């Protein structure tokens, strides 16, 4: 889906939740990702969201100005998701998730129409991410984390 589409969906969803006077809302994203150093099929509970600059921020441009917002997930919900997966005997790990703005270059794929880096560059970057505690790459987590954090809603990520 990517951050721009998710942003639109979250704006509409949170307006509906507001008008419906919902309380104690929890938003949990479940979906696919590319794992880093984990066995295929492992569920990853995101402990933190990083943007393409490897910072825990959601970057957005408003009125021509760069706006950075904290991309923080709820630690209590994170623990609840992790404990539930363990109890159900689902293979699970916790780690950081990197959010990219595109599917190819942002994730250092080698099969896109543009590739201004080598396989060695890609592997070096993936090793750097792994050493930082990044377990996966996807395209939405900073957006969801900043939205839920700004609204004081519990947000979690399960991939």
Angstrom distances, CA of residue 96 to CA of 5, 44, 113, 118? 22, 9, 28, 25
Residue 98 CA, distance from chain mean position: 6
Provide the domain count of the chain.
1
Residue 154 CA, distance from chain mean position: 14
Range(s) of the domain holding residue 55: 2-158
- Using the structure block, give the residue that is written with the tokens 């939740």: 17
- Encode pLDDT of 77-132 as tens digits: 999 999 999 999 999 999 999 999 988 999 999 999 999 999 999 999 999 999 99
Q: pTM of the prediction?
A: 0.91
Residue 140: CATH number of its domain = 3.40.50.1580
Give the pair of three-digit tokens for residue 94.
């916790």
HSE at residue 42, side-chain half, CA atoms within 13 A, is 16
Confidence tier at 159 by pLDDT (50, 70, 90)? low
- Encode pLDDT of 22-79 as tens digits: 988 999 888 888 899 999 999 999 999 999 999 999 999 999 999 999 999 999 999 9
pLDDT at position 156 over 90:
no
């Amino acid at each position: 889906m990517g951050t721009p589409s998710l942003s639109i969906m979250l704006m509409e969803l949170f307006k509906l939740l507001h008008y419906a006077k919902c309380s104690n809302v929890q938003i949990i994203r479940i979906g696919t990702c590319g794992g880093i150093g984990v066995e295929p099929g492992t569920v990853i509970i995101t402990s933190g969201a990083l943007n393409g600059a490897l910072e825990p921020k959601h970057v957005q441009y408003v009125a021509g100005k760069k706006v950075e917002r904290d991309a923080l997930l709820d630690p209590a919900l994170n623990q609840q998701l992790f404990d539930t997966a363990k109890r159900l005997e689902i293979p699970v790990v916790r780690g950081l998730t990197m959010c990219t703005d595109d599917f190819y270059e942002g994730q250092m794929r080698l099969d896109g129409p543009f590739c201004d880096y080598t396989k060695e560059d890609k592997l070096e970057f993936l090793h750097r991410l792994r050493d930082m505690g990044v377990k996966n790459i996807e395209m939405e987590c900073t957006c969801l984390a900043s939205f839920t954090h700004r609204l004081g809603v519990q947000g979690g990520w399960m991939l």
